[in-house]
Copies of this chain bind each other. A is one copy, B any other.
Amino acid sequence: MWRFITHKTRNLITSTITKTTSPISSSSSTTTISPLTAPLRFLSTLQPDSMGSDYSSTPVTIDTINPKVLKCEYAVRGEIVTLAQKLQQDLKDNPGSHPFDEILYCNIGNPQSLAQQPITFFREVLALCDHPSILDKSETQGLFSADAIERAFQILDQIPGRATGAYSHSQGIKGLRDTIASGIEARDGFPADPNDLFLTDGASPAVHMMMQLLIRSENDGILCPIPQYPLYSASIALHGGTLVPYYLDEQTGWGLEISELEHQLKTAKSKGIDVRALVVINPGNPTGQVLGEANQRDIVEFCKREGLVLLADEVYQENVYVPDKKFHSFKKITRSMGYGEKDISLVSFQSVSKGFYGECGKRGGYMEITGFSPEVREQIYKLASVNLCSNISGQILASLVMSPPKVGDESYESFSAEKEAILSSLARRAKTLEDALNSLEGVTCNRAEGAMYLFPCINFPDKAIKAAEAAKTAPDAFYAKHLLNATGIVVVPGSGFRQVPGTWHFRCTILPQEEKIPAIVSRLTEFHKKFMDEFRG
């Protein structure tokens, strides 16, 4: 991210320099230079561009690429992660070279990278669908559960020609969409139409598709929570729109206030922004809150009243850890309010990457779109068609997560045990980490009601803020870098998700293996104490 920032700064500087300024070559001598050109020179030392570099005979430079790409940021895989990968390599090449013996990735919701095991039933079915010719072999009975075999047969029957290697319908295999629609109906108690479902390679391409549909120019705005998951800011930047922020209220457990939505909408409108949609992430990422029903109804009324598409990121729908909260889909909320297909435009995003199963690498997911006219839907269909279809294994997995083993199925007990073990452990890990964070000096942390993250607020001493300034970085990035270098723990600075100006946070997943949590807590606590001692002033 540092490079992106420096580049933007350089552009800013370049654009303020008069055209008569001669290009500064990196080999220029140490003669006195004006204050205006000094920072430019400093930056070009940090990041040589194509001027005078070895790539001078190639046609594409950082200054001639699409500026929307330059503008896009994606902190979840940003500078801190690059540093972490470097340290990991160091540890491999020179064991003992750092004050820790492993890197603990708490930067991204990627459970299986931290040794969470896949759900057996799901993987049995996937393996059988990948290699159907073993279905009839006798050895298969000994290797796979009976209901996995049965399910694989059912799924193959749903695929035209049983061809798991063929492109499917652009929206996904119809039979799998039928299964998913039934799963949505069972979840919500309201009908779901398989023709409303678009199966996608994870939720990200679905979000891009909707942004691409809605954004015409920088005058089109999308209301997004702050803090937000950077997919939204990145996608809006790439499609050339304007992110209209609404702030979640940290004091009330990251509450989503309608008055704040109204205020921000009004402000955006006064600047000539045509606000087209509202993004709601429930359960929240990075904030972990679970919305209450009454709040959801108010959000629906707000969208209805203001003519906004409601983009509901519901990928953490199965990750709720507190007994006083429950996930309700926005589809269920709208239908229970009496709103039908033609009353409100709603898109719900779901993914196989999250939930208790955490199958991130399979890139499965779907969006359910309701309240769009046939001619607009046809345009969405066309967008889906340009990439032909999402991957079939991901499609199959999406059908499995929405229709897991039922009571009486051979796998039901083992499936339930695997699910319960993961979810209860996540709840314990969330609580332990939350308590540990709240015991740190200057740190407050809302509970993770759902999702996979904690997003603590850190009240930095002035001296730390000044030290960060001197290091030309944000205080939370400064903290995260020191934390990584001292402990091997990787968190994402809050600035990657945006935050109320002047407040500082970081996002930490609750995903490390449970037996590693005590060590993480003690390393973090020890680091934090030293950090505060150093910078207390």
Given A166-B112, A201-B363, decide whether A57 and B342 contact each other with a Cβ distance below 8 A.
yes
Q: Is the CB of A363 within 8 A of B391?
A: yes
Q: Is the CB of B373 within 8 A of A53?
A: yes
Q: Is the CB of A112 within 8 A of B165?
A: yes
Q: Is the CB of B130 within 8 A of A373?
A: no
Q: Is the CB of A66 within 8 A of B216?
A: yes
Q: Is the CB of B204 within 8 A of A386?
A: yes
Given A59-B345, A161-B115, decide whether A391 and B393 contact each other with a Cβ distance below 8 A.
yes
Q: Which of A320-328, A374-382, A428-436 participates in binding chain B?
A: A374-382
Given A139-B139, A166-B113, A362-B165, decide whether A376 and B60 contact each other with a Cβ distance below 8 A.
yes
Contact of A74 among B54, B115, B160, B382 (CB under 8 A): B382
Which residues from chain B contact A137 at a C-beta distance below 8 Å?
Answer: 142-143
Q: Does A213 contact B (CB under 8 A)?
A: yes
Q: Is the CB of A375 within 8 A of B213?
A: no
Which residues from chain B contact A307 at a C-beta distance below 8 Å?
Answer: 59
Q: Is the CB of A360 within 8 A of B373?
A: no
- A123 to B, closest residue via Cβ: B131
Which residues from chain B contact A238 at a C-beta distance below 8 Å?
Answer: 212, 383, 386
Complex-state Cα separation, A77 to B171, whole angstroms: 12
For the side of the interface on A, what is the size category? 35 or more
- A120 to B, closest residue via Cβ: B133
Complex-state Cα separation, A131 to B140, whole angstroms: 13
Q: Does A70 contact B (CB under 8 A)?
A: yes
Q: Does A91 contact B (CB under 8 A)?
A: no
Which residues from chain B contact A26 at a C-beta distance below 8 Å?
Answer: none
Q: Does A3 contact B (CB under 8 A)?
A: yes
Which residues from chain B contact A308 at a C-beta distance below 8 Å?
Answer: 59
Q: Does A163 contact B (CB under 8 A)?
A: yes
Contact of A345 among B58, B114, B358, B391 (CB under 8 A): B58
Which residues from chain B contact A70 at a C-beta distance below 8 Å?
Answer: 379
Q: Is the CB of A55 within 8 A of B112?
A: no
Which residues from chain B contact A68 at a C-beta distance below 8 Å?
Answer: 212
In order of increasing CB-CB distance, the 8 nearest A-B pairs are A127-B131, A113-B166, A363-B391, A55-B373, A361-B392, A139-B139, A112-B165, A59-B307
What is the interface of chain A, defined by CB distance below 8 A to chain B?
Answer: 3-4, 7, 47, 49-50, 53-55, 57-62, 64-70, 72-74, 76-77, 108, 110-115, 118, 120, 123-124, 126-128, 130-131, 133-134, 137, 139-140, 142-144, 160-161, 163-168, 170, 201-202, 204-205, 208, 212-216, 231, 234-235, 238-239, 276, 307-309, 342-345, 353, 358-363, 371-373, 375-376, 378-379, 382-383, 385-394
